Structure 1
Amino acid sequence: MCGIAGIISFQNQARNVDGIIQMTQSLKHRGPNDEGYILYSDEGIQHYFGDDSIEKDSKHINTALGKGAKVSFGFRQLKIIDLSSKSHQPMADNSQKYWVIFNGELYNYKEIKTELKGLGHHFFSNSDTEVVINAYKEWGTNALQRFNGMFAFAILNTVDKTVFIARDRIGIKPLYFYQNERFFIFGSSVKAIIKSKLYQPEINWEGLWQNFRFTTAQRPHTVFQDILALEPGHHLLINLNDNSVSKNQYWEIPTQIQDFSLSEEKATQLLEESLHKSINYRLISDVEIGSFMSGGIDSSLISVLAAKQKPDLKILTLAFNNFKEFNEVNQAKETANLHQLNQIVLNADVNKFYRNIEDSIICYEEPYHTISANYLLSEMAATNNCTVVLSGLGGDELFGGYDVYRKIPLWEKLKKNKNFIDFLPEIHQKIKKGKAIANCKTLGEYYSHYYTNFQDKEINNLFIEKSIDTTYTLENLYASKKQFTDTFEAMSFYNLKSYIGNHQMRALDSTTMAFSVEGRFPLLDHNLIENAFRIPTKFKLKETTQKYILKEIAKKHLSKNVIQMPKKGLSIPLKNWVETSLKDFISDNLQSLENRTIFNKKAIRNIITSKNESKIWQLVSTEIWLQNFIDKPL
């Protein structure tokens, strides 16, 4: 797990060494253990060390200040696999003609390494990074089809004079880039690109609008003008001969592959085998591993199965002792006691969190509609020396854990007959008012209404600068040519593309890496996802039972209390904190936001009056984002 940065000059050999140094230093939290650089010019490859480099067997990067380069790579390393200096990056193959900077983990690197050895490749380290570069050298782009992992990497090929950049299938590891007529700049964070001094941050109004609507800008868009995110399952090729940039997709979430010949027994066996294999992969590490465990099914099941393979696994649980509606600690303790897990419980302390509140917002690099419990959990992991942590993210999206899945039949009836809502019990009337699903013609529109913070009309009243219609944004971005077996399958597809690929992955990577911690997600293994889409919907939503097939597996390991507990999710008591501990902080920032000329003051006051905590916090985080990224870039 690391941080990568690169500058490619389109006009001769630009003097951009100071830029790559600043970019790389900004990524220190992502990789505190090692540092390295290469510069590629007409003189060939020059390798440099930095202040935090383990071995200083070349020249210090400061000696290159003032030099020109066609390609500059910078790297920060968080050591996970192969803790020796042999895993240092940028790393070259044995010929010194291919150079890689690799962020992430390749879980099946040992199998690929064995195959490559059989093809004549020689290795000098035990790192997965060396496998990546030799696999690319052997198979080119097709190497991506063999990789099981999470990654964002760049490979300089001095033979063909190209730079190849790729991102993992789910988008677990980030990759941002900025391109103009002079440069192509990329990195693990937007902040790194800003630090190059070759980009002046400005608001991307379409991205900010999407952020208000969907809680995050929908990739490839960001809230920064002209900065894009490489989409999950995509790769880029920059040709240094003619400065052309091409992008291609190498993987997509599979649909219309449900295997209706599968019995419930066979489907359960398929999922169980996939889950065990995925967890075992994610226990590969040369440093200490922990596991986030709330009282819910997904994280509890992952933690229990992982602990069977690694009994000393630290189980990290966040408690909200003063807020029963958010607290799942009793269920988590029950699971821990049942399996004698090594559990550590931390009570969420608003006073401690308050001292770091701006940092928790800044690490997201764009406005965020809530305070994430993942920030507290990540700090907890670091405090307890867990460099790697497992997470149960993905179960609700794949197997229908959210309320939206249960309401699919309702929407389908409303789509056919809007008058049907008149016959619904009073409990469903809020759907008509809050989500307006009776008027949604397509699934993309229904999903957009359900997964939203602000509706377009509200944002239009708030924004002075721009007016955008996002009704079909998600459909156009992700599913314009997709066909689905059923609505459940489509909803799962949208959840993985939008909610996981944009919202969850951005938030989790930002918070874990803020504390130099690597998050791993067994339920988001691409083989498991493909098998999950093979399993018929009837085994995921069985009558009124959501996540049926996952619960059947969980019954073997978890108590009835855990399995039957109403879903709470990993939430924090934002409403209470907004009205009490954070009241003054919020008031000050909202006043600053009102003083700007980009938002309608009356609309801001209406939101404050509404006492909707997520909308209020969206405004607060927007003000802090503006202060730190637009007014005076970090």
Structure 2
Amino acid sequence: MCGFTGIISFLGGRSISSNVVSMTEKIINRGPDDEGYLCLKDNFFSFRGDGSVVKSLPHISASFMDEFKIVLGFRRLKIVDLSNLGHQPMVDNERRFAIVFNGELYNYLELRAELIGLGHVFRTNSDTEVVLIAYKEWSNKALLRFNGMFAFSIIDRTTSTVFMARDRMGIKPFYYAKTNDNFIFGSTQKSILASGMVLAKISEQGVWENFKFSVAQRPHTCFESLKSLSPASYGVLNFRTGDFVEKKYWNIPVGTQDFSLTESQSKIMIEESLFKSIKYRLQADVEVGTFMSGGVDSTLISAIASKFQPDIKSLTLGFKNYEALNEIKEAQDTARLNNIDHIIETINPDDFIKKIQETVVAYEEPYHHLSANFAISSLAKNNNLKVVLNGLGGDELFGGYDVYKKLSFWEKNKKHKNVLKFFPSFHPKIKKVKQILSYEKIGQFYSHYYTTFSDSELGLLTGKIKNTDNLLEELYMDDGIGFSDNFEAISYFNLKSYIGNHQLRAVDSSTMSFSIEGRLPMLDHQFIETAFKIPSVYKNKNGISKYILKEVAKKYIAPSCLAMSKKGLGLPLEKWINNELSEFVGDHLSDLRNRNIFNNSYMDHIVKSKNTRQIWQLVSYELWLRNFIDNVKN
């Protein structure tokens, strides 16, 4: 788990190493344990930085006046193979290939054994070297053999190409900007801006998507020049011509439900697949813990993890003076049941409020809420954990959100939408029902439930008119894709949009802010493939959401966790806005009004309506402008 940066020059050679050093300084938090650089002329030249553990190399400053075709920067967080042999960037024995790799390859031991059997020789015990040699052996087909989370780049001197890839779900980030002269890439958006080669210019499309869906829909970002490599995709860049091609190598397996499966068979399949996924993610040369709320997903993962690793540390957040959000008791019940080393911390609003700007800088985009991921990652750091398991994915795969329950209403009643035209729309509920039933496509229905601002509201705010109801289908509905049912379609869009763009970004940016590696057992691609085979009738049965997953969980977690109504890992933003954060909110909205970029009278309407999500979206946007547009040095 690490971070990388890089600049590729199409001009045949430029003095770019100092730019890469500036970029790499922005990702120290992603890898505080080591620092390295690699420069390419006609051969590879390795350098160290101030934070390098390999002191025998020349310092990168010695290269500042030289011209190179490519320069790579790297910061390492030591998780697997703690020796200095895992130092990156890494070059193969023949000095044809070089790699920077961020993430974890969970099946690296099996692949390593297979590659040794094919005659390959390894110098390290790292998964990075397995990725490099697997690419040498199988080229892009190696991606289909990988089980893990990753983003990496491999330089091939012989073919003058750079191969770039991202894991199936997009757990690890990969951002880039392509100009006429250079290809600049990195693990964060702010590292690319630090290159000095990319302007921090607002993307109107990206910001519109951010306000509507809470995050710009990848490959878009809120910056005009920055893009994201798509999940389950690889790119090939010819660094002589500048030609860049991106291709997809995997997709979420819709249309694969096995309707012959019984409930009992489905339960066994899920349990076995989850056990395998968790066992994989406990592999590390450092201690592994878990994030554990009182809900089903994280308690189930923690309980199963404790079977492999007794007395595992599990971390739970509580909230002072906000008992309605607390899940401490339920988490304690499961911890006692499984002899888990349970660590609880209650959050004081004043302490978290001091860190709000840090969260905005870490997230790199405005967001309509405050994420508790930042607080619980800090707790992991304070308890000397470098790796934590997270329960993300259960709600999306098994129907844990309210949208799944409302799906049947839309399916049954949209045929009656013409009858509603005779009803007046002045009542908010009738107006809302009319809107919901007006949607013809499942992507439009999904978009409605994941919208912070509707297109019409954004029109009132910006003075511009757009229609993005079909955007998610345009971005994510590949040719020929077919859903078994609408329940499956909602899961698909949740994984593509909500998980792929928002949740994974929030988890990665939060954990890595504290040099913590977050691992996600329920987003293992094999577990996802298993979940999509399970008939939807077992996922929401007799009005019980996530029914089949809860049936698995009964064996491992406390009954109180199963009985608890869904709360989610959130912070009491609505309470804070009206109390501890009221002055903070007022000041930032006032500054946003003074920019005269929005309709200020409609902003006042939003404040009067007390729509917490919309208010905080505006506050967050002002914070983002200050940190990324007004002051690009941050």
SS at match of 1:103: strand
- Provide the C-alpha distance between the structure 2 equivalents of 1:234 and 1:549, rounded to a whole number of angstroms: 31
- Provide the C-alpha distance between the structure 1 equivalents of 2:7 and 2:430, rounded to a whole number of angstroms: 49
Deviation at 1:429, TM superposition (A): 8.0
- What is the match of residue 181 of structure 2? 182
What is the number of equivalent residue pairs in this alignment?
A: 627
SS at match of 1:407: helix
- What is the match of residue 448 of structure 1? 447
Q: What does the per-residue CA deviation read over 1:503-528, in whole Å, with 9 as the maximum and x for residues that have no partner?
A: 10111111111111010000000000
Contact in 2 for aligned 1:30/1:76 (Cα 8 Å) = yes
Deviation at 1:468, TM superposition (A): 2.4
Comparing 550-559 with 430-439, which one deviates more in the overlay?
Answer: 430-439
Contact in 1 for aligned 2:420/2:434 (Cα 8 Å) = no
SS at match of 1:35: strand
- 1:106-121 residue pairs with structure 2 within 5 A? 106-121=105-120
Gap change, CA 1:421 and 1:534, over 3 Å in 2: farther
- Provide the C-alpha distance between the structure 1 equivalents of 2:420 and 2:364, rounded to a whole number of angstroms: 41
CA RMSD of aligned residues (A): 1.5
Q: What does the per-residue CA deviation read over 1:314-345, in whole Å, with 9 as the maximum and x for residues that have no partner?
A: 11000124212211111111111222210000
- Provide the C-alpha distance between the structure 2 equivalents of 1:435 and 1:192, rounded to a whole number of angstroms: 45
Deviation at 1:354, TM superposition (A): 1.5
- Provide the C-alpha distance between the structure 2 equivalents of 1:309 and 1:173, rounded to a whole number of angstroms: 26
Q: Could you tell me the percent identity over the aligned residues? A: 50
Q: What does the per-residue CA deviation read over 1:572-630, in whole Å, with 9 as the maximum and x for residues that have no partner?
A: 11011011111111111111100013211112111111111111111111001001111
1:76 matched to 2:62? The reply is no
SS at match of 1:241: coil
- What is the match of residue 490 of structure 2? 491
- 1:369-388 residue pairs with structure 2 within 5 A? 369-388=368-387
- Provide the C-alpha distance between the structure 1 equivalents of 2:622 and 2:53, rounded to a whole number of angstroms: 40
- TM-score normalised over the length of structure 1: 0.97
Contact in 2 for aligned 1:78/1:516 (Cα 8 Å) = yes
- What is the match of residue 424 of structure 2? none
Moved over 6 A (4+): 419-422
1:395 matched to 2:394? The reply is yes
- Provide the C-alpha distance between the structure 2 equivalents of 1:512 and 1:148, rounded to a whole number of angstroms: 21
- 1:223-622 residue pairs with structure 2 within 5 A? 223-418=222-417, 430=429, 433=432, 436-464=435-463, 466-481=464-479, 482-622=481-621
Deviation at 1:430, TM superposition (A): 4.3
Deviation at 1:434, TM superposition (A): 7.7
SS at match of 1:369: coil
- Provide the C-alpha distance between the structure 2 equivalents of 1:242 and 1:262, rounded to a whole number of angstroms: 52
1:20 matched to 2:7? The reply is no
- Provide the C-alpha distance between the structure 2 equivalents of 1:307 and 1:430, rounded to a whole number of angstroms: 47
- Provide the C-alpha distance between the structure 2 equivalents of 1:531 and 1:328, rounded to a whole number of angstroms: 29
Deviation at 1:431, TM superposition (A): 8.1
Deviation at 1:28, TM superposition (A): 0.2
- Provide the C-alpha distance between the structure 1 equivalents of 2:592 and 2:433, rounded to a whole number of angstroms: 27
Residue type at the aligned position of 2:447: S
- Provide the C-alpha distance between the structure 2 equivalents of 1:435 and 1:447, rounded to a whole number of angstroms: 15
Gap change, CA 1:240 and 1:480, over 3 Å in 2: closer
- What is the match of residue 210 of structure 2? 211
- What is the match of residue 41 of structure 2? 41
Deviation at 1:421, TM superposition (A): 8.0
- Provide the C-alpha distance between the structure 2 equivalents of 1:409 and 1:583, rounded to a whole number of angstroms: 39
Residue type at the aligned position of 1:475: E
- Provide the C-alpha distance between the structure 2 equivalents of 1:348 and 1:359, rounded to a whole number of angstroms: 17
Q: What are the ranges of 5 or more consecutive residues in structure 1 without an aligned counterpart?
A: 423-427
Deviation at 1:133, TM superposition (A): 0.1
Contact in 2 for aligned 1:29/1:514 (Cα 8 Å) = yes
SS at match of 1:325: helix
Residue type at the aligned position of 2:18: D
- 1:6-155 residue pairs with structure 2 within 5 A? 6-42=6-42, 44-155=43-154
Q: What does the per-residue CA deviation read over 1:87-108, in whole Å, with 9 as the maximum and x for residues that have no partner?
A: 0000111212110000000000
Deviation at 1:175, TM superposition (A): 0.4
Contact in 1 for aligned 2:198/2:225 (Cα 8 Å) = no
- What is the match of residue 425 of structure 1? none
- Provide the C-alpha distance between the structure 1 equivalents of 2:12 and 2:434, rounded to a whole number of angstroms: 54
- Provide the C-alpha distance between the structure 2 equivalents of 1:467 and 1:375, rounded to a whole number of angstroms: 35
Gap change, CA 1:366 and 1:296, over 3 Å in 2: same
Q: What are the ranges of 5 or more consecutive residues in structure 2 without an aligned counterpart?
A: 422-426
- Provide the C-alpha distance between the structure 2 equivalents of 1:430 and 1:305, rounded to a whole number of angstroms: 44
- TM-score normalised over the length of structure 2: 0.97
- Provide the C-alpha distance between the structure 1 equivalents of 2:508 and 2:210, rounded to a whole number of angstroms: 18
Contact in 2 for aligned 1:319/1:345 (Cα 8 Å) = yes
Contact in 2 for aligned 1:432/1:438 (Cα 8 Å) = no
Deviation at 1:420, TM superposition (A): 8.2
Comparing 331-340 with 394-403, which one deviates more in the overlay?
Answer: 331-340
